[in-house]
């Protein structure tokens, strides 16, 4: 019996879990060079405020998430699980990347469920503590965009039975703004902490998520240039102090059909946040948001079959964010994406993706610590991708079956008005860029050719 | 049969081992901020010389040890094991910590046992080589304090049968003082090496451990400020040259009862070391010890049940260390700790911990390379912690059953005389501290509130 | 059925793979110090152009490769595999090496085979994409030297059936010259990319490998001092611009006997490369090669038994490389190595290794970014090693059976003409060396004593 001898470590080998997500590949922009752009589908100006475009054919890195777990399950249904995630994202194409490796533990947590002797509302609940991605995060795979991504170090309980048909999660997550590694000054790293208090409700297919955010010292942190070794007020004209609190709410509908029209799935979400909650995607992760920041975002996507052997997924995302970093600034974008997959044989198919994004960004001079120009950006960008794809039908055909091995060709076309927004994005001047070979093209269109694998299980 | 074809890698999947230790959680000191203090239970002035206090409710980091192993066992009892440990300690509460990650392989070794054709004294022995924690290290869990922690890269043999009832281990460990990564100057990293020669004997419940230490070039390394890029003699008045040799001995008693009084366990150790052996806990890990350094330490702890559902563990540790870094310096501390756990239901209990430490430290101006003030510290510190705890009775109830999920509340109270010892500990002036938010309180008492998970198996 | 529900991750636990290579140990050069030399068997001047000597008794580091994999196999023979390799090489002997750790993912790829509905030549083929070591790389274990090591991020297909008895692999690998981590200047990292197009043929025991290399922007990168933060032409007199293209060909013979003389194996290879292909071992990994660089290399080794319980492996490698970095430079070396193992008991044997290398190197002032003196080196070096070794006969006796635990003693003797070539190798002046304790001896001979484990499976 595990743990019978309190000083003896458990040796039970059962319950080992090994799961992964990974992608790895390369892209060349036709000038004979690889294309390095860490941002992937976030490479446009709108990407700076979560405006991703379709991901197929614009990803250049090797990104890995290895999940190692151990689960114990007992006869009465009670269980415990330990889980860690080791992750790395690497844009270097070489095999040895010891000098630029970012390997880190993104998750380290333990959870327990079906505990004995619990009061009725908690009898089916799952308790947890540690560092983790919230269990109920969900994303739009085709944009590599989380509708909501809540993560950090905390504790909580899932599936509290509030009433018949109503389950709630309660959690507190702690996070940092700044860098505990002391990079910004060995003696005086700038770290400010924030807390996210979450109540997440499920009633049938409906989800209502309420997040309260608190970072009492964050107003000392406002709009600080990244290279400043001490806490100073912003030198940007008209800037606000950073928010010390905020709220982010979400109403979502998880449909087990394709919008009631056909078989498949669809998910739709409306989010509204202010202050520290005005970052709709990465909850509580942006410490530069102003006191008056407010963001509204609408997202929807679905997956269905158009005909036997023809798979289809449309996506729509639109966001308005105002007074975000500077009073009076304004960030708007809308992204439309569609991916189609055509099965040719039982191991080979063709994927097509078309994406369109319109952005109107008025940053009012905010430079994000020297990474951006502070200039406005306005215009459209479109991308068409063709990807001959190998798969194993037994591991899942279709848009969400993996692994896939792909050849990829993308054509990207955009308005000149999107250039000059950022020093580091793919359309910018690349002056002082830290992303070598990051520019897609000096003009307003470009080709990308390459190959990629993607897997999850 | 494995290895039959010498060029064919072994593919046997059996014998895979996956074991772990992990803790992860957060603490806030009530001012609305998280509390970041890497030192955990070593946050007091005495912590600088291994004086830990009770750990419950003062740990802020996510620390992980993943052990991956492969073991081969054959019909005649002979066996081999390969083991690696991947570990990280991270004070950042965010999920992505690629910039501050410290992930490293703490162990990489192979061991073999019950080898054929061995002479009688070695017929039950285990041989090993590589980087490892010594098999016979043991700790006081409640202080996160090793009684003895011997580790490094070496080779050795366990369980040599010296005589009836007497088994000995022989090993040599190599270690470095300094930093091979060249941080202290790209062109001229300062690395001095030391060797630990160990004979570790078990006779019944008694253990006698003898360590001889040798670091021939270490006297060039003496009391060097951390930022000095070349080897210079100390500029601290009265300083000695660093020791180039030393000895550390331990007499320990491993009792399978609670001091003969009741069921449980208890362990008691007396250690004495001089020169390089004057670091009693981390054998051979402190290269700044002086030639005349001498340390004596007494440790004891036990675990028992006070009554059905009431678990108890007392700890006592006392240490005197003199002429440690500077001739005439003097470091004394005594720590008393008690933890009680009360089972309320089969999945919920209450933990209480009370800890007291008295320290009298006269560093004679020694600043540990600018991390400390060089000023003396004298006084007492106490901590009371309450921790409502969730567990799974099937995985082990009691003080050493894991996993546990805990809410934690600690009240800490101390004499002003402990302030101003260190720039980086929780009671210090935090001037030039590299531990942001590291100060527990500007006064002489403070609250800590948070949550944590802990697991091992 | 895996993937049946497209949004449900696969949970099948079968097919988990855990394989490893690791070595860990220490060496002292008799002056009472450890010997740190990251280069291992590449520590001589010829080591700078792939001239390794015998590895037994000159390796100082802990090097680990952990391979985690997941393989799915279906009834019709089709299969898929996901594989990652986590690796680290660490010269620090301490257990915690968080400050100097180089842990990184050297491989992240997916491959699939026996796919359905493929045309006949591809019906037995294996397709892959991601970051990987090429499947058909092979090495001379006793030198730690790859005959050919092709790796990077790419895509390809193995085992295309070209004709009866003729199989070919086709692949494209992308790599970088320079450092994407921005170490050489945060704002403007210097990264130039290169592509390797490979056709690798097997006809019976014969292998013909053809590699075309392309790095269009590399001529801007020529002979740049490592500390230069922007792209400048070389300041070395007579230097060429770096090559922007190249070719590397190999003809190899894989014998399943010891040169037709006795039982065992043997492998023989002849390589010729020019331009970017003039690095014969690490294909496409050296961006400093000149336009006119040309290299020819001959390698052969075998493994056989001399008598029952006596195992023997001879190695010969010879290389000529001219106009390599500077027009007119000349790098020549020949290495002869022999290892013998004598089984004494079923768990203990003796290993002996003798190695001899002659080098004649005229670098014409090329300093490799300040790491070398630019001076010529000419002379011989010899090494004799004795290694009492423990093993488990059931896991494989002989030169290629592992794990092994070894005590090692080496005596190295060389001509003075090999000194003064490099600031960082074991025979050099160590002025400005970044490898502390890297010098083997101030004279022309030296002892090395230590212990080591080595394992693979």
Which residues share a beta bridge with C129?
Answer: C110, C155
**pLDDT at site B430:** 60
CA distance A59 to A451: 10
Which residues share a beta bridge with A145?
Answer: A140
**pLDDT at site C425:** 72
Residue A452 CA neighbour count, 13 Å, CB half: 27
pLDDT tens readout for residues B51-65: 999 999 999 899 999
To test the contact with chain C by mutation, choose from B87, B101, B102, B105 the residue with the greatest count of C C-beta atoms within 10 A, namely B105
pLDDT tens readout for residues A72-102: 999 999 999 999 999 999 988 999 998 889 9
**pLDDT at site C240:** 58
With an 8 Å Cβ cutoff, are B175 and C93 in contact?
A: yes
A13 near B CB under 8 A: yes
Show Cβ contacts of residue A372 under 8 Å, excluding neighbours closer than 6 positions.
A48, A363, A366, A421, A422, A423, A424
- CB contact at 8 A, A17 and C13: yes
Tell whether the model's pLDDT for residue B10 goes beyond 50. Answer: no
Question: Mean pLDDT throughout B268-282?
Answer: 97
In a domain, C425, yes or no: yes
Question: Mean pLDDT throughout A151-172?
Answer: 98
CA distance A227 to A367: 13
CA distance C271 to C280: 7
Question: Mean pLDDT throughout A26-53?
Answer: 87
pLDDT tens readout for residues B88-102: 999 889 999 988 899
Which residues share a beta bridge with A387?
Answer: A351
CA distance C355 to C360: 17
Write a three-state SS string for B36-88: CCCCHHHCCHHHHHCCCCCCCCCCCCEEEEEEEEEEEECCCCCEEEEEEEEEE
Number of Cβ within a 10 Å radius of residue B87:
23
- CB contact at 8 A, C209 and C202: no
pLDDT tens readout for residues B357-372: 999 999 988 877 667 7
Residues of B whose CB is below 8 A from A10? 395, 457
In a domain, C52, yes or no: yes
* Residues A336-341: contacts with CB under 8 Å, at least 24 apart: A337/A53, A337/A54, A337/A142, A337/A143, A338/A312, A338/A313, A338/A314, A339/A54, A339/A56, A339/A142, A339/A312, A339/A313, A339/A399, A340/A306, A340/A310, A340/A311, A340/A312, A340/A313, A341/A310, A341/A311, A341/A312, A341/A389, A341/A398, A341/A399
With an 8 Å Cβ cutoff, are C176 and A93 in contact?
A: yes
Question: Mean pLDDT throughout B18-33?
Answer: 88
With an 8 Å Cβ cutoff, are C97 and B104 in contact?
A: yes
Tell whether the model's pLDDT for residue A16 goes beyond 50. Answer: yes
CA distance C249 to C273: 6
In a domain, A104, yes or no: yes
**pLDDT at site A100:** 84
Q: Write down which chains contact chain B via at least 3 CB pairs under 8 A.
A: A, C
Residues of B whose CB is below 8 A from C437? 191, 193
Residues of A whose CB is below 8 A from C132? 95
Number of Cβ within a 10 Å radius of residue C298:
14
Tell whether the model's pLDDT for residue A268 goes beyond 70. Answer: yes
- C437 — pLDDT class (breaks 50, 70, 90): low
With an 8 Å Cβ cutoff, are C26 and B216 in contact?
A: no
- CB contact at 8 A, C287 and C242: yes
CA-based nearest distance C238→chain B, Å: 28
CA-based nearest distance C18→chain A, Å: 11
Which is more confidently placed, C10 or B208? B208
- C182 — pLDDT class (breaks 50, 70, 90): very low
Q: State the ipTM, two decimals.
A: 0.93
B20 near A CB under 8 A: yes
Residues of A whose CB is below 8 A from B341? none
CA dihedral (B99, B101, B102, B103) positive or negative: negative
Question: Mean pLDDT throughout C230-257?
Answer: 74
CA distance C266 to C56: 20
Name the closest residue on chain C to residue A35, using Cα atoms.
C193
**pLDDT at site B239:** 53
Q: What is the mean pLDDT of chain A?
A: 88
- CB contact at 8 A, C81 and C69: yes
With an 8 Å Cβ cutoff, are A456 and C9 in contact?
A: yes
- Angle, vertex CA C452, rays to CA C448 and CA C454, nearest 5: 135
- CB contact at 8 A, C88 and C67: no
Burial of B261 (0-12, 13-18, 19+ CB in 10 A): exposed
In a domain, A132, yes or no: yes
Number of structural domains found in chain A: 1
**pLDDT at site C433:** 43
Tell whether the model's pLDDT for residue B223 goes beyond 70. Answer: no
B128 near C CB under 8 A: yes
Residues of B whose CB is below 8 A from A155? 25, 405, 407, 451-453
Backbone angles phi, psi at B209, to 5 degrees: -115, 130
Name the closest residue on chain C to residue B186, using Cα atoms.
C434
Chain A, residues 81-120, CB within 8 A of chain C, namely 86, 88, 90-101, 103
Question: Mean pLDDT throughout C165-175?
Answer: 97
**Per-residue exposure over B432-447, b if at least 16 CB sit within 10 Å of its own CB, e if not:** ebbbbbbbbbeebebb
CB pairs under 8 A between A and B: 215
Show Cβ contacts of residue A22 under 8 Å, excluding neighbours closer than 6 positions.
A62, A63, A64, A65, A453, A454, A455, A456, C82, C84, C108, C110, C130
- CB contact at 8 A, C47 and C55: no
- CB contact at 8 A, B94 and B100: no
Show Cβ contacts of residue A161 under 8 Å, excluding neighbours closer than 6 positions.
A120, A121, A122, A123, A124, A125, A167
Closest CA to A178 of B31, B43, B441, B36: B36
Q: Write down which chains contact chain A via at least 3 CB pairs under 8 A.
A: B, C
In a domain, C8, yes or no: no
- B34 — pLDDT class (breaks 50, 70, 90): confident
Backbone angles phi, psi at B21, to 5 degrees: -125, 140
B32 near A CB under 8 A: yes
Show Cβ contacts of residue B264 under 8 Å, excluding neighbours closer than 6 positions.
B257, B258, B302, B303, B304, B305
CA distance A215 to A201: 24
Chain B, residues 360-389, CB within 8 A of chain C, namely none
Number of Cβ within a 10 Å radius of residue A47:
23
Backbone angles phi, psi at C345, to 5 degrees: -130, -170
In a domain, C262, yes or no: yes
**Would you call the peptide bond into C403 cis, given omega within 30 degrees of 0 as the criterion?**
yes
Chain A, residues 252-291, CB within 8 A of chain B, namely 285
With an 8 Å Cβ cutoff, are C405 and B285 in contact?
A: no
Q: What is the mean pLDDT of chain C?
A: 88
Closest CA to B229 of B256, B190, B193, B181: B190
CA distance A418 to C413: 66
In a domain, A9, yes or no: no
CA dihedral (B353, B354, B359, B363) positive or negative: positive
Residues of C whose CB is below 8 A from B188? 432-434, 436
Q: What is the helix, strand, coil percentage profile of chain A, to 5?
A: 5, 55, 40
Express as a percent the part of chain A with pLDDT over 90.
Answer: 71
Closest CA to C267 of C168, C353, C147: C147
**pLDDT at site B227:** 41
Alpha carbon distances (Å) from C371 to A132, A214, C226: 44, 52, 9
To test the contact with chain A by mutation, choose from C130, C132, C149, C197 the residue with the greatest count of A C-beta atoms within 10 A, namely C130
Q: Is C246 helix (H, G, I), strand (E, B) or coil?
A: strand
Closest CA to A381 of A410, A359, A357, A417: A357
Tell whether the model's pLDDT for residue B354 goes beyond 60. Answer: yes
β-pair type (B245-258, B126-133)? unpaired
C323: Cα separation from own chain's centroid? 23
CA-based nearest distance A28→chain C, Å: 9
Q: What is the helix, strand, coil percentage profile of chain C, to 5?
A: 5, 50, 40
Q: Is C2 helix (H, G, I), strand (E, B) or coil?
A: coil
Among the partner residues A16, A348, A395, nearest to C3 by beta-carbon distance: A395
Tell me which residue range forms the domain holding A410: 16-456
CA distance C196 to C191: 16
pLDDT tens readout for residues A183-228: 433 344 456 788 999 999 999 999 999 999 999 878 765 445 444 4
**pLDDT at site A187:** 40
- CB contact at 8 A, B113 and B128: no
**pLDDT at site A227:** 41
**pLDDT at site B373:** 82
- C146 — pLDDT class (breaks 50, 70, 90): very high
Residues of C whose CB is below 8 A from A90? 104-105
- C230 — pLDDT class (breaks 50, 70, 90): very low
Runs of H (alpha helix) within B278-348? none
CA distance C175 to C285: 7
CA distance C87 to A103: 11
Residue C188's domain is classified under what CATH number?
2.40.170.10
In a domain, B265, yes or no: yes
Show Cβ contacts of residue A383 under 8 Å, excluding neighbours closer than 6 positions.
A53, A54, A57, A58, A353, A354, A355, A410, A411, A412, A413
Burial of A231 (0-12, 13-18, 19+ CB in 10 A): middle
B209: Cα separation from own chain's centroid? 17
Among the partner residues C33, C88, C93, nearest to B152 by beta-carbon distance: C93
CA dihedral (A389, A394, A396, A401) positive or negative: negative
């Amino acid at each position: 019996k595990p743990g019978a001898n309190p000083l003896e470590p458990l040796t039970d080998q059962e319950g080992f879990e090994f799961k992964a997500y990974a992608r790895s590949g390369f892209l060349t922009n036709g000038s004979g060079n690889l294309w390095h752009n860490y941002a992937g589908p976030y490479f446009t100006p709108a990407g700076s405020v979560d405006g991703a475009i379709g991901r197929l054919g614009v990803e250049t890195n090797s990104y890995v998430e290895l999940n190692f777990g151990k689960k114990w399950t007992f006869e009465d249904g009670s269980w415990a699980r330990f889980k860690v995630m080791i992750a790395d994202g690497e844009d270097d194409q070489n095999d040895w990347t010891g000098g630029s490796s970012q390997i880190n533990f993104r998750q380290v947590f333990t959870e327990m469920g079906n505990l004995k002797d619990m009061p009725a509302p908690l009898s089916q609940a799952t308790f947890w503590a540690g560092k983790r991605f919230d269990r109920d995060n969900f994303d739009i795979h085709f944009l590599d965009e989380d509708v909501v991504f809540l993560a950090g170090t905390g504790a909580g309980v899932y599936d509290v039975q509030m009433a018949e048909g109503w389950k709630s999660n309660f959690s507190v997550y702690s996070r940092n703004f700044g860098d505990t590694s002391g990079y910004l000054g060995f003696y005086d790293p700038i770290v400010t902490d924030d807390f996210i208090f979450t109540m997440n409700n499920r009633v049938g297919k409906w989800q209502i998520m309420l997040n309260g955010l608190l970072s009492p010292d964050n107003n000392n942190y406002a709009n600080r240039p990244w290279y400043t070794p001490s806490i100073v007020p912003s030198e940007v004209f008209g800037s606000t102090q950073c928010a010390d609190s905020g709220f982010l709410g979400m109403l979502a509908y998880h449909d087990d059909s394709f919008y009631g029209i056909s078989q498949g799935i669809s998910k739709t979400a409306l989010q509204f946040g202010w202050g520290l909650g005005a970052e709709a995607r990465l909850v509580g992760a942006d410490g530069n948001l102003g006191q008056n920041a407010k963001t509204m975002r609408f997202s929807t996507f679905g997956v269905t079959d158009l005909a036997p052997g023809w798979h289809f997924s449309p996506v729509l995302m639109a966001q308005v964010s105002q007074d975000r970093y500077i009073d009076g600034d304004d960030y708007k974008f809308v992204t439309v994406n569609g991916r189609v997959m055509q099965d040719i044989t039982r191991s080979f198919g063709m994927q097509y993706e078309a994406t369109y994004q319109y952005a109107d960004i008025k940053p009012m001079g905010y430079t994000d610590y020297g990474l951006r120009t502070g200039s406005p950006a306005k215009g459209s960008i479109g991308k068409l991708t063709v990807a001959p794809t190998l798969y194993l039908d037994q591991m899942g055909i279709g848009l969400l079956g993996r692994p896939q091995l792909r050849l990829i060709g993308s054509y990207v076309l955009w308005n000149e008005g999107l250039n000059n927004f950022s020093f580091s994005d793919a359309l910018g001047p690349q002056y002082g860029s830290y992303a070598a070979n990051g520019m897609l093209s000096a003009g307003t269109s470009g080709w990308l050719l390459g190959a990629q694998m993607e897997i999850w299980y």
